[in-house]
Amino acid sequence: MNLLDMLRAEHREFLRLLDRLDKSVTKGSPDAPALIGELVSRLERHEEIEEKLLWPSIRHYAPESTPALDVIDADHEGIMRVMAVFKSELFSAGRSPAWLILGCSRLANMVRSHIAREEADLFSIASKRIPAADLERLGLQAESAKEVP
């Protein structure tokens, strides 16, 4: 599978998960922590694949995109920081529902705007400049990286 198609499909899944999370947190539903856990582990894997497989190819075929890549890398760092807090504090006692609502909406806003920026600033140029055969090969690499537990 083409790497960009795979990453775009994952973006759509993240947006659906964030919508479910919004509803679950506002209703005070008990499945919110499980949804956050799922989102965090899938996002970590997704960002890692982007950084290890897609960015080097963008740097190679579209070197003028380096400033846009720097912005996206800063996004990744911010998202990872918020996710690290979630992971360490999610199940600690004494966290109020307000903390969960605030944290979730912060993470959701970051991820939604990150996805929009990534697709507009990087994926569009990547789809024009990276040869299709390379994107297919990278897609296969991403698939096999996902299979590693």
Can you give the binding site for Fe ion, defined by CB under 5 A? Answer: 47, 50, 118
Contacts of 79 (CB under 8 A, 6+ apart): 43, 47, 107, 110, 111, 114
Residue 26 or 124 with smaller CB distance to Fe ion: 124
Residue 56 or 97 with smaller CB distance to Fe ion: 56
List, in sequence order, the alpha helices (H) in 90-131. Answer: 97-118, 124-129
Q: How far is the CB of 1 from Fe ion (least distance, A)?
A: 15
Residue 1 or 99 with smaller CB distance to Fe ion: 1
Q: How far is the CB of 117 from Fe ion (least distance, A)?
A: 9
What is the distance in angstroms between the CA of the first residue and the CA of the last residue of the chain? 20
